[in-house]
Structure 1
Amino acid sequence: MQDGETHAHPETRQPASVSATAPKRKRRPPAPRPEIIVRPLARRAKPQRRHIGAVILLCLGVFLPTAITAGYLWTQARDQYVTRIGFSVRSAQTSPALEVLGGISQLSSADSTDTEILYDFIQSQQLVREMDDKLNLVSVYGCDEGNKDFIFCLKQDPSIEDLLAFWNKMTKIGYDGGAGILEVEVRAFDADSAVILAEEMFAQSSAMINDLSTQARSDATSYAQDDLEVAVARLKSARRTLAEFRNQTQIIDPAADIQGQMGVLTSMQTQLTQALISRGLLELSATKTDPRLVQLNLKIGVIEKQIDIQRGKFGLGDSENGEALAQLMGRYEELSVEVEFAEQSYLQALDALDNANGEARRQSRYLAAHIKPTHADRPEYPRKILLTTLVAFFSFFGWIILVMVYYSLRDRR
């Protein structure tokens, strides 16, 4: 076992001695990998003429207009000051308690109509002409010799159409149809001028409303006045005809005259009855030649003749004494009815005129301002940042469209 161990010991050391004496081998370097050359799909981009053209177009179409706009707004454009005024049409009409509910809608409708009329008047040529006559709008909105703001200023020697267009551009109207309220925004190149223009516009509008109110009152009373004049003329004619009738007949009141004539006729009929009774009694005891009987016969004849005459006056007999009292009475009653009807028409027309005058006084309208014009501390227009931004945006948008159109046409070739 020991020999074996000693024998095995050198065997185990042999590889160590061999490895110690053997020379070391050098590692070979790895073989180089083959270089793969990939050709580019497109050539390296280089500035082309179209790129330069797009940049030039960007500068000329976007940067330049934006710079010009900004320069003009900040150096040449005149500042615009704003004042605002709010007003509405009011009515002084007062209605009875029972008519309040029914009259509310009518009042609202009338005020709304007046406000719509006023809305059109503020934008009308009439207002512009009247304001120009008083304030000289060219001096208010025109530019000084040293100022070259040809965009926001009024040109020299403008026509009335130019003044109207410029006035509508410098004013902004807000209309609330439900409440009947108008709010007007007036612009000018200084705060004092804006207030003066707003006050003058309000004064002209108030005068127009007053004229409409006066015209409405005149129309309301003119018809009643015309009716009264017709009634007066009719009453005068009826009374004149009645007076002529009385002059012709020499009878003031045919009714009273007839009553008197009827009394006479009744009295004569009574006398005739008594005479007939007396004659009848006398015939029983006297002869025909009795003077008393002869006297009674003469009396009866006279009474009968007078009765016939009286009946002829009444149109009851065969009288030829001219126009009968019955006809006169009929004519008189006809004229009296005409006079009475004319008097009633006159009284009604007079009452209608009084009512029309009272209604006209109650329905007078006026202009009431609930927002009065005030002086502005700083200008609100022109809105320089907004205008410059809009010019830059639309210029850039237009430049993009032009470039896209160019490349679209180029790709189709």
Structure 2
Amino acid sequence: MMLDSGSESPTSNSYIVNDYLQSQAIIEDLSHTIDLEAIFNRDQADWLFRLGTDLPIEDKIDYWNRMVDINFDATSGVIYVEVRTFHPDDSVTLATAILQRSEVLVNKLSEVNRRQSVRFAEETVARAEARLKVIRRQMLAYRDATQEVSPEDNAKIAMEMISALDQQVVAKQAEMKTLATYLNSDSPRIRLLYEEINALESQITTERQRLGGGTSGDNGTSANDNRLAVRISDYSDLKLEEEFANQFYTTALAGLEKARQDADQKHMYLATFIKPTLSQQAQYPQRFLYSFAFFLMLAGFWTVVVLMYYNIRDRT
């Protein structure tokens, strides 16, 4: 078996599969579909090599790791599985089941990996969207309170109005100076111009106070809250926050799309290049080797007994 994960290195995930095949989890998972005790307790099996019954899980794991060899090549990421049972068909059945459980595990790992990467991006989008909604509600509340869409536009209109009033004052003053050359200062025409100039200057003062002066508001938030300059400052802060929130939301959406694309490219799967094969000749037990080893053990035991016998006889 070889684990492939697209653009990622398969080594770390291969270690997970390797540990899984030697753990308690694989025994519990296989027990749902295969009777392991029946396989490892066949009648034709030697009693010395049987699994036995009613064993604790620790003993089952030790027996499993003796009968199922898992070899992992960290360089290539290849996992080689060798299964030994007391019947060749049982070995093929068990090897096939191990392969299926490994594929299930790899599919879960792949799905969890893809889901987590997308979930983090979705959480970022949710935070960005919530922040943007808060800023927009604050902007709406500000406009409802000030009854204006943009104080900056109102400031431009006010400056244009003040400039127009200044021009009218200059024109009236020039006209009054011209009339003063040949009319008395208390003439109705000059007095009318004087009143008009005073009214225009008063209007200019009022407009200038609305831009940069005024009295404290009743809500007690800060002094001169009704000044247009203060409203422009508050509006600029809200507008800047809204721009940042929009940029953050746009970036989060792009990140979510990128995470989904990366998740689609990170498919992790198990490639089986050698299917479980049926043994045609029994490889175990190695009768000659076991018999020879047993003979050597008995010979050694006999030698020790003989030496002890002659040693005791010579001392008596």
- Is the CA contact (8 Å cut-off) linking 2:39 and 2:85 kept in structure 1? yes
Q: Distance in 2 between matches of 1:148 and 1:214?
A: 42
Amino acid at match of 1:342: A
- Name which of structure 1's ranges 151-160 and 285-294 shifts more when overlaid on structure 2: 151-160
Aligned match of 2:240: 337
Aligned match of 1:190: 87
Q: Which digits, 9 at most, give the CA deviation of each residue in 1:62-110, with x for residues without a partner?
A: xxxxxxxxxxxxxxxxxxxxxxxxx1111222xxxxxxxxxxxxx4xx3
Q: Which digits, 9 at most, give the CA deviation of each residue in 1:343-394, with x for residues without a partner?
A: 0000111111111122222222111111111111121111111101100012
Q: Distance in 2 between matches of 1:411 and 1:275?
A: 150
Secondary structure in structure 1 of the residue aligned to 2:285: coil
Amino acid at match of 2:23: S
Amino acid at match of 2:286: R
Q: Looking at CA atoms only, which structure, 1 or 2, has the larger radius of gyration?
A: 1
Aligned match of 1:143: 42
Q: Distance in 1 between matches of 2:21 and 2:214?
A: 85
Q: 1:233 to 1:303 in 2, by over 3 A?
A: same
Q: Distance in 2 between matches of 1:143 and 1:191?
A: 12
Amino acid at match of 2:42: C
- Name which of structure 1's ranges 193-202 and 276-285 shifts more when overlaid on structure 2: 276-285
Aligned match of 1:12: none
Following superposition, the deviation at residue 177 of structure 1 comes to: 1.7
- Is the CA contact (8 Å cut-off) linking 1:312 and 1:319 kept in structure 2? no
Q: Following superposition of structure 1 onto structure 2, how do residues 4-403 of structure 1 map, counting pairs within 5 Å?
A: 87-93=1-7, 107=8, 110-144=9-43, 149-315=46-212, 317=213, 323-403=226-306
Amino acid at match of 1:249: T
Secondary structure in structure 2 of the residue aligned to 1:371: coil
Aligned match of 2:220: none
Secondary structure in structure 2 of the residue aligned to 1:213: helix
Secondary structure in structure 2 of the residue aligned to 1:403: helix
Secondary structure in structure 1 of the residue aligned to 2:270: strand
Amino acid at match of 2:233: G
Q: Distance in 2 between matches of 1:156 and 1:411?
A: 50
Aligned match of 1:22: none
Q: Which has the higher contact order (CA 8 A, sep 6+)?
A: 1
Q: Gaps (5+ residues) in structure 2?
A: 217-223
- Is the CA contact (8 Å cut-off) linking 2:132 and 2:249 kept in structure 1? yes
Aligned match of 2:219: none
Amino acid at match of 2:2: S
- Is the CA contact (8 Å cut-off) linking 2:214 and 2:227 kept in structure 1? no
Aligned match of 1:49: none
Following superposition, the deviation at residue 411 of structure 1 comes to: 4.6
Percent identical among aligned pairs is 30
Q: Distance in 2 between matches of 1:178 and 1:319?
A: 79
Following superposition, the deviation at residue 412 of structure 1 comes to: 5.5
Relative to the length of structure 2, the TM-score reads: 0.92
- Is the CA contact (8 Å cut-off) linking 2:92 and 2:277 kept in structure 1? yes
